[in-house]
């Protein structure tokens, strides 16, 4: 659409007050439709979550009387959580997941920031070929067998590194951070160099403080990826003591494995359904707890990087 046609289209779609149609207040019918859609989405997302919480707090008697699931237990108890957190395989798996997530996210952010900053600066040696390689990973991804052979040749089988290094760098995150870095005014770089700052000091003192939004978003993406990752652990880890929480959760909830009282460190177990839901809630809780604090950065970080790309 040419420039005159765009201008005429905008003029035709302006109200009497001079504002475009999409800036006007919605009609009562439109507001009602939005309310219905929002309520439906809240119910669709919230009901399963509340059902899992209620089931994890229910007693054996209530679960047996209600077919195995309870939304609002009459006599809530934390027995399932106490058993899960008292020791054994689930506690160990949770510690493994926390460690892999923290270390992996830190390494991923470090590599992503360094690579994105290098690709964002004009005159970087082999910058364009490296950028083409990064973009090319969107189109050509290795399969399971090449990945496994690389991990095997590097001696990472049955190590925690096998859950970190294969997914340590994400091309999409690199492109987003690079685009954000390119949006920082060049005058700031020049002023810092006039004061004698090198590239590392410019990155640490100028670029990073201005990029908190995109770093928070990318860090959240990496943390969620590491926390929810279970396929690499299933593929590369044979030692059950090194399995993360998601693999243990999958074996209990999806594959129907039974809980072992001795492994859980107790003599009598709560209901199996309550234990499964307790493990499920513990697996989801960290991300749910962190997300509200980073939500304000999501739109600013992702959209700014995308628009400037």
Higher pLDDT, 139 or 10: 139
Question: Which pLDDT score is estimated for 34?
Answer: 87
Looking at every residue in the chain, the average pLDDT score rounds to: 81
Q: Answer yes or no: is 251 within a domain.
A: yes
pLDDT-based confidence at residue 261 (cuts at 50, 70, 90): low
142 backbone dihedrals φ, ψ, rounded to 5°: -70, 155
Residues 60, 191 within the same domain? no
Residues 217, 245 within the same domain? yes
Give CA–CA dist 155/165, Å, rounded.
12
Residues 53, 162 within the same domain? no
Q: Which residues contact 131 (CB under 8 A, 6 or more apart)?
A: 119, 178
Residues 150, 293 within the same domain? yes
Residues 151, 291 within the same domain? yes
Q: Taking residues 176-181, report their average pLDDT.
A: 89
Q: Taking residues 11-18, report their average pLDDT.
A: 53
Question: Which pLDDT score is estimated for 22?
Answer: 58
Share of residues in the chain with pLDDT > 90 (%): 17
Range of the domain at 127: 82-308
pLDDT of 1 > 70? The answer is: no
Question: Which pLDDT score is estimated for 164?
Answer: 92
Q: Taking residues 175-181, report their average pLDDT.
A: 89
Q: Answer yes or no: is 98 within a domain.
A: yes
Residues 58, 165 within the same domain? no
Residues 140, 279 within the same domain? yes
Q: Answer yes or no: is 12 within a domain.
A: no
> SS3 string of 198-237?
CHHHHHHHHHHHHCHHHHHHHHHHHHHHHHHCCHHHHHHC
Residues 280, 137 within the same domain? yes
Q: Answer yes or no: is 2 within a domain.
A: no
Question: Which pLDDT score is estimated for 289?
Answer: 82
Residues 48, 173 within the same domain? no
CATH number, domain at 249?
1.10.3720.10
Per the structure, the count of domains in the chain is 2
Question: Which pLDDT score is estimated for 187?
Answer: 86
Q: Answer yes or no: is 278 within a domain.
A: yes
**pLDDT tens across 52-102, in order?**
899 988 888 888 888 888 888 888 888 888 887 776 777 888 889 999 999
pLDDT of 281 > 50? The answer is: yes
Last residue of a domain, one of 37, 55, 77: 77
Residue 170 · residue 221 · CB < 8 Å:
yes
pLDDT of 215 > 80? The answer is: yes
Per DSSP, helices labelled H in 154-211 are 171-182, 186-194, 199-202, 208-210
Residues 201, 297 within the same domain? yes
Residues 202, 54 within the same domain? no
Question: Which pLDDT score is estimated for 4?
Answer: 52
Residues 132, 275 within the same domain? yes
pLDDT of 256 > 60? The answer is: no
Last residue of a domain, one of 56, 77, 98: 77
């Amino acid at each position: 659409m040419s420039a005159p046609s765009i201008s005429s289209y905008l003029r035709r779609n302006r109200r009497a007050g001079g504002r475009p149609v999409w800036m006007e207040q919605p009609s009562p019918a439109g507001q009602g439709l939005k309310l219905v859609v929002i309520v439906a989405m809240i119910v669709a997302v919230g009901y399963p979550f509340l059902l899992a919480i209620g089931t994890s707090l229910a007693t054996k008697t209530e679960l047996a009387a209600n077919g195995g699931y309870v939304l609002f237990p009459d006599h809530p108890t934390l027995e399932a959580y106490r058993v899960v957190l008292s020791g054994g395989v689930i506690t160990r798996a949770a510690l493994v997941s926390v460690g892999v997530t923290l270390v992996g996210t830190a390494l991923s952010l470090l590599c992503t920031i360094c690579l994105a900053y290098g690709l964002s600066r004009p005159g970087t040696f082999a910058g364009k070929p490296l950028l083409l390689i990064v973009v090319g990973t969107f189109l050509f991804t290795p399969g399971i067998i090449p990945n496994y052979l690389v991990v095997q040749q590097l001696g990472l089988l049955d190590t925690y590194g096998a859950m970190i290094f294969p997914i340590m760098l994400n091309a999409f995150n690199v492109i987003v951070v690079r685009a954000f870095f390119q949006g920082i005014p060049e005058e700031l770089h020049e002023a810092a160099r006039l004061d004698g700052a090198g590239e590392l000091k410019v990155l640490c003192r100028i670029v990073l403080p201005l990029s908190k939004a995109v770093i928070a978003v990318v860090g959240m993406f990496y943390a969620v990826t590491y926390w929810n990752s279970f396929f690499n652990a299933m593929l590369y880890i044979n030692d059950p003591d090194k399995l993360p929480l998601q693999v243990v959760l999958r074996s209990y909830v999806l594959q129907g494995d039974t809980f072992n009282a001795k492994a859980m460190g107790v003599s009598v177990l709560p209901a199996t359904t309550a234990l499964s839901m307790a493990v499920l809630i513990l697996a989801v809780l960290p991300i749910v707890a962190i997300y509200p604090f980073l939500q304000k950065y999501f739109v600013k970080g992702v959209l700014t990087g995308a628009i400037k790309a």
